[in-house]
Every structure is written in C-alpha cells, then in structure tokens.
Chain A
Amino acid sequence: MAIEVTMPQMGADMTEGTLVRWMKQVGDQVTRGDIIAEIETDKATVELEAFDSGVLRKHVVAEGETVPVGEVIAILGDASEAVPDVDRMPPAVTPARRVPEPVPTANGTEPPRQPAAAAVTPPANAGRLRISPVARRVAHEAGIDVTALVGSGPDGRILRRDVEAAAKGAASEPAAVAPAAAAPAPAVRRAAPAAAAATTEGLSKIRQATARRMTLSKQTQPHYYLTLDVDMTAAMEFRRALNASASEAQHVSVNDMVVKACALALQRHPKFNAEFSDQGLRLHEAINIDIGIALDEGLIAPALLDLAHKTLGTIAVESKDLVERAKHGRLRADEYSAGTFTITNLGAYGVESLIGIINPPQAAILGVGTVMAKPVVVGGEIAIRQVMKVALSADHRVSDGAEGARFIKEIQGLLENPVSLAL
C-alpha cells in the first residue's frame, strides 16, 4: 500500500521546511528509522527519519523546494504497485503531527499521550505576518519595515498604533521620514545629532523565531526569579581530578556538571520539568535539557536527551557532539523540539549573573554565570572561594517561589557536594 511521507513538524512554531537533500533515491529500499532526507527549518538542518518501511517510489518535492508542514514530499510503497498521482497537493485535512509510537515503560503502561488539542497544528499560514490593512498602509507611507515590528493587537497582530509608535521612534532620524515637500520648518528646530542615523537590517529566520518565541514567553508566562551563589570550590577540584584521567572526548566542563545537577534535581522536582496547559500541568517523563548555543546566525538551544540515567561522562561526550553538530546544522528533529528544561550559560564570557527568559512551553530556565574567586565568610573567617551565581526563572502558573527555592537549593547542594554527580 502506498504510504505518503509528509513534511514533518519539527518544533511547535515550524510552518514550512526546505528539502535540502534526498538521502534515499527512487527505487531504494527504506527501513523504518532510515534517514531519507535532510530538512532545513528556520532554525537548523535536521535529518528526516522514515516512520514506515517500503520502497521509495517517488520524490514529490525536489531538492531545494520549500513546502508547508503536512504536505506530501514522497511516496513509499511496494516495488510493484502503481504510484498514486500525487503532485504537490496540499493535504485535504489539517495534518496531525506524526509522533513516534509511544514507548512502553518498564511497568508496561504507556506514557501519557499528548492531549488531542495539543496535537493540532497551526494553520499553514501561521508564519504569515499578522498586520492590519491600515497598519500596512501607514507603514508603507512612512517607509517603515513592518517585519521589524512587534504587534500589540489580538494574536500579536501589528496595529496602526504599533506602526505609529515606530514612526515616532524613527522621527528623530533626520531624513528617513521627513516628507520631501515638508511644511516650512519651525523657527526654532533642534538639529538632530548625526549619530541618530540608522539603517534597518532584515531579520534572519532564526532572529524572527527568537523574537516570536521570547515575546510569546514574556507575554504568556508570568516569570518569577530566584538567584543564589553556589560555592564551586569542591566542584572545581572534583572536575580537575576527573579530567586528569579522562580522554579529551570525556573532558567534563562546568556546564556538564550543571546539566548533571539539574537532571538529578528535576527528578526530585517534577514541576520544573513540566509545561502549563489549560487542561492541567503536563509532567514530562523524559528529562531533556536544552543548552543555549550561540552561533554566528543567532541563538539555538538543542536538547541533550533522556538525561535521567546518564552519567556525567556520557553527558560530557554528548554535549560536545551536540555543540559540534549544531555548528554544522546537523541536529536531529527531536533534539530541536523535545527539550523540557533549559540551561543558559554565559560563564565563558565572564558574565557574573544571567537571568534567562523561559523557553516556551517549558516551566523554567536556569541562568548560569562565571565561576570566579571571591572573598566569602566561612565559619566566621573570610576565605577565598570559587563562586558561581545561578538564577532560576520559573513560570508562576506552574510553581510557586518556595517550590522554586527548594529546587534551586537542590541544585546548589548537588554542586557543592560534587561526589553526588558521579553516580
């Protein structure tokens, strides 16, 4: 029987994807799990796995073409059967996201399924700029780039007031908005400083996605923030000892230790490995921690997967591999979309403290600063200790401050007794 392979939705905000390269050619045998193509989304290039087995009968979409999520891109079937005449037809119904079969857990029960409502994909035009007609016209007349605006209307629609606010902001630019046949200038007019001149740069897809997701977070997730100091003296000593005998691939970073500490703490505080929905709190079974990676094109946060039982050494190997593949645009779909918690770390830049914006729909993010030597009072004496500031930003719809405090204390305790990370 012919099986349609569709453009998958890799991440909640993906609306279309570009077929970069076919990895299986017409006539090739495909086994479930094989990589059949590379897909480029607005964030990364990912490999598309086959969900079914069969013979690849037709490439419906050519390399380089961009098509909406849910559209048929290839046909699998038996070697002998006739290929249905599919020719870039949009799906008749809104495509449901194809999710892998649920994996039975140890006690034989299935993990909770995603509620049906959450599986409904946004309409295919969700990525289209939402702007009212009058806002578009006013922006056109004022020469304002609407793609650079953030809408304040329903569902983020850009309204006239948003354009007018932007025009007001731009009014200090001398030539940009002044009409050619301007009215006579008032007698007293302050000369605009030359430094106020500006140019508008187009937004990359990754910039647009970051803008959309961070705005969504701040508009829908009420954040609360908790910060504390972690005494990393013992942890730094522990790391030095580990790395002295480790291969280069197993070399443990400070961030790896933070990841391990968070993975342990999340098992004991499931509300921070959750997401809010109107139906209730969804507590994730898997612990998948996104780590922020700054690329030249912008910020991405792929996930280290299934951390519940991974050792520090495994985390060290996998995090290096993840960063390497992220730099080359070779992330897999689940790494891009399956994160349940995020760590953002600017310690490498010497930043002392960092308060993050939650990565929606997650419930919390941990901001990590640099480890620096500081005078600290220990037992009534001033001592020089290695101190690292951590900041928890959490969704107040999911958890309260006291729960957040217990969670961040747990992370602190694990890092200050680093032997616990070795398990």
Chain B
Amino acid sequence: MPEMRMRDALREALREEMLRDETVFLMGEDIGAYGGSYAVTKGLLEEFGEERVKDTPIAESGIVGVGIGAAMAGLRPMVELMTINFSFLALDQIVNSAAKLYHMSNGQINVPMVVRMASGGGSQLAATHSHSLEGLYAHFPGLKVVCPSSPADAKGLLKRAFRDDNTVIFIEHTANYGLKGDVPDDPDFLIEFGQANVLREGSDVTLVGYSGSVHQATRAAVMLQEQEGISAEVIDLRTLRPLDIDTVIRSVQKTNRAVIVEDDWKFGGFAGELSAQIMERAFDWLDAPVARVCGKDVPMPYNRNLEFAALPSEEDVVEAVLAMF
C-alpha cells in the first residue's frame, strides 16, 4: 500500500471515479487551472479536460444549484465549496432542494451529488473561516454526512460517495490534508457508510470523535494509558449520517463511560445528540454522566494562543476522563 497525504488520497479517489464512470464531473472555484485551494484537484483539468473539470464563478448558490440540476438529469457531479463557511451561501439549495427532492417527488427524482467542503479551525483563519459544521448538516434528514480522519478513510469514503443515490456532504478537516497514511490502491476499495472505526481498543472509557477530533482523542488515549494507567477505547464515527450508534453503545456497555470530542461548539452540537442517544440506549450501563469536550462557546479567535485555547485539546480530554474516576 503506498503512503500518501490525505489530499493525494482524495485526488486518487476523484481520478479513479472519473475513470470508472464518465458521468462523474467536477465543479468549483479555482479547482481547474489553480488545482484547488488545498490542491486536491491538481492535474485533473489536464487529464480530463474542461468538460469534466469546471472552474466556476464565485457564486456558491449557483454552483450547487447547477450540481442539483445535473444530478437530477442523470449526471454524477462533485461540487467543491472552497470552505464550509461559504456553504452558508448555498444552504437553501442544499437543504431545500438537494435534501428534499427525493421525498417531495415521492421517489421520482433523486440528487446523487457529492458536495466537498473544507472545515475546521486551527489554521489562524479567524472567526468566519474556521467553522466545524458537520453537526449542522447532520441535522437535516435527506443528507448523508461524511467526515474522514485519515487518508485511507478519505479515499474509501469519497469513492463510496459517488456510488450513493443521495446527496453526500463530504467534509474534510483542513488540519488533515497533510496527514500521511497508507492508502490501498485497489480501484474497488470502498468504505461503507455508517460503519464506525474502533481505532484503539480499551476497557475503562470510550472516547468518540470524528474528522479532526479523532486525533485529540487518540493522543489523549495514549496519555491516559501512559500516565494514568487508564485504558481508553477510541472510536472514529467516520459518518454522522448514517450514524453507527451500535458500535458506540457496544463500547459503552464495556467501558461504562463515554467522552465525546468535537471541534464544534458544545451548545446544540452533535456531541449533544450523541450524548442523548447514549443515555437513551445505555443508561443502565453508565458509571458517570456522558462528558463532552468541545470547542469554546465563542467565535473562533484569530490570535494563535487564543485559538488553541478555544479548541479542545488532548489535555482537556484527559481532564474530562479523570473527572469520571
């Protein structure tokens, strides 16, 4: 298995899917000549031509709207929104059209579109460019929400997204683009949606994360083992819709404790949803209230130190775990 960075694994997935299925095409701001803000689509314009790799105007609602129309007409579009922050401008198209057409047409029309977005803080991009909105998209029925944490998952999940008949919101954490890992080069390598990944087995506490926060959780698990002798299980959800709650519940039944880690704000966030589901399904297995380690309840600061303070750290996770014992 070749080792590559997550951005290269994503490009591999796009390329393989374009080679496999000629209805797949790409649209977005600066994805062609420039190769994409995070260099994910570099070289694809040269290989596949302007018909299949389209640079668009700065008009997110328009791009997504065109994508929805193309998908309704039988193509398999991939729309790249430069960052998740700009997706607010396309929210009406995504929520009111892409997510609902199948339901409102009684199954006559579906929208097999992949919308990729870059998400997350930690890069000093300030309050308007550092959102973690995975939980927001997971709120809407009719969308699938995918958030990989590793190069291999990014490839397997993105290839899988092109084979889905629904709109898939594919969210990539900016801090993960440079992450290296072994990636299968098998063109049929797919990762099924709704299958959480147990990254590390443990017996004393379950740490649940997705996308960027998986890494804080994993580092916290190492610290807990080495410094406290506490054995933490780490679960990467991989997709929020569909959600593999069964894997989480099985783990909590074993460890009796759960800590959810996410970059998003705590108030009204996905960690709250997960916490409620654990309480509903595993109440009699809990030895402590479910804990949430989330971003601070402020717009993301620009100052580097303040930005670090606003994001959940592995130390925060360790502290939350120790409070349960």
Contact = CB atoms under 8 A, between A and B. Distances in A.
Interface of A: 132-137, 153-154, 157, 159-160
A133 B325 contact: no
B323 A133 contact: no
- Going nearest first, the 10 A-B pairs with the smallest beta carbon separation are A132-B287, A137-B284, A133-B286, A133-B284, A134-B285, A160-B287, A134-B256, A159-B287, A133-B283, A134-B287
Interface in B235-258: 256
Given A134-B256, A160-B256, A153 B287 contact: yes
Nearest to A162: B287
B288 interface: yes
A151 to B, nearest CB: 11
Contacts of A157: 288
Given A134-B256, A160-B256, A153 B284 contact: no
A132 B323 contact: no
Contacts of A159: 287-288
19 contacts: A132-B286, A132-B287, A133-B283, A133-B286, A133-B287, A134-B284, A134-B286, A134-B287, A137-B284, A137-B285, A153-B288, A153-B324, A153-B325, A154-B288, A154-B323, A154-B325, A159-B287, A159-B288, A160-B287
Interface centre among B288, B323, B325 (most CB of A within 10 A): B288
A159 B325 CA distance: 9
Q: How large is the interface on B (under 10, 10 to 19, 20 to 34, 35 or more residues)?
A: 10 to 19
Main secondary structure of the interface of A (DSSP, over half): helix
Contacts of A136: 284
A135 B286 CA distance: 8
Contacts, number: 31
Interface string B183-206: 000000000000000000000000
Interface in B253-290: 256, 283-288
A154 B325 CA distance: 7
Nearest to A161: B287
Contacts of B283: 133
Nearest to A135: B287
Contacts of A154: 288, 323-325
A335 to B, nearest CB: 39
A132 B256 CA distance: 10
B318 to A, nearest CB: 15
Contacts of B288: 132, 153-154, 157, 159
A15 to B, nearest CB: 22
A154 B287 CA distance: 11
A388 to B, nearest CB: 45
Interface centre among A133, A137, A153, A154 (most CB of B within 10 A): A133
Contacts of B323: 154
A248 B262 CA distance: 75
B324 A133 contact: no
A153 to B, nearest CB: 7
A206 to B, nearest CB: 30
A152 to B, nearest CB: 9
A136 B324 CA distance: 17
Interface in B282-325: 283-288, 323-325
Contacts of B285: 133-134, 137
A154 B322 CA distance: 10
A150 B197 CA distance: 38
Interface centre among B287, B288, B325 (most CB of A within 10 A): B287
A144 to B, nearest CB: 15
Interface centre among A132, A135, A154, A159 (most CB of B within 10 A): A132
Contacts of A153: 287-288, 324-325
A123 to B, nearest CB: 16
Nearest to A154: B323
A160 B286 CA distance: 9
Contacts of B324: 153-154
Given A132-B287, A137-B285, A153-B324, 6 more contacts: A132-B256, A133-B286, A134-B284, A135-B287, A136-B284, A154-B288
A159 B286 CA distance: 9
Nearest to A159: B287
Contacts of A133: 283-287
A134 B288 CA distance: 9
A56 B324 CA distance: 49
A157 B324 CA distance: 10
Interface in B49-84: none
B321 to A, nearest CB: 12
A137 B282 CA distance: 12
Contacts of B256: 132, 134, 160
Contacts of B284: 133-134, 136-137
Contacts of B325: 153-154
A53 to B, nearest CB: 47
A137 B286 CA distance: 10
A218 to B, nearest CB: 19
Nearest to B283: A133
A403 to B, nearest CB: 35
A55 B324 CA distance: 52
